[in-house]
Amino acid sequence: MLIKPTTTDTIIPNDSCRPLEQKFAAIRYFASRIHTYNLNHLQEQKEIDIVKQLINNNKYNTSLLNRIGKNIKQRQRYEQENQNQRWVNFTYIGRETRYITNHLKNTYLKVAYTTNNNLRKLLEMQETQKPNKFDKN
């Protein structure tokens, strides 16, 4: 379950002029692999050592792997806890909407408020319709 030799040292270096999201993408991928695959402790430590060497060779601080790994673990735990939650939309019309949705707080439903007063509706109202010349008497 180790990194292929052909992929070694092929991530974007830290000193390149790229967005951080692009630079950290490969590191997030390798950290995710470590936490997703079912590795025993020895395999996991060997994988971590290889990824840390890769990070170090590309001028990153090796503590970055620990930070990203913690974020991945937290996200996995959050997704497992909230696996059954569903989102529902309510058109917000005032206090009544809050009253109704407060009763949903202790359920598996999450509430998102919407409004009828959005840009699309405003633009549709401003469109002027051309009169049909055949409608005239």
Q: Is the dihedral of CA 88, 92, 97, 101 positive or negative?
A: positive
pLDDT at 125: 65
On whether both 76 and 91 belong to a single domain, the answer is no
Phi, psi of 90 (to 5 degrees): -125, 130
Domain that includes residue 118, residue range: 86-128
What whole-number distance in Å separates Cα of residue 60 and Cα of residue 16? 11
Indicate whether 137 belongs to any domain.
no
pLDDT at 60: 92
Which residues contact residue 129 at a Cβ distance below 8 angstroms, ignoring those fewer than 6 apart?
none
Q: Quick one: residue 9, left, alpha or beta (phi over 0 = left, psi -120 to 50 = alpha)?
A: left
Count: domains in the chain: 2
On whether both 103 and 58 belong to a single domain, the answer is no
The pLDDT averaged over each successive group of 10 residues in the chain (137 residues) is 61 89 89 86 90 91 89 82 81 84 82 79 67 69
On whether both 70 and 106 belong to a single domain, the answer is no
Q: What is the H or E stretch that residue 46 is in? A: helix 41-57
pLDDT at 97: 84
pLDDT at 84: 77
pLDDT at 35: 81
pLDDT at 15: 92
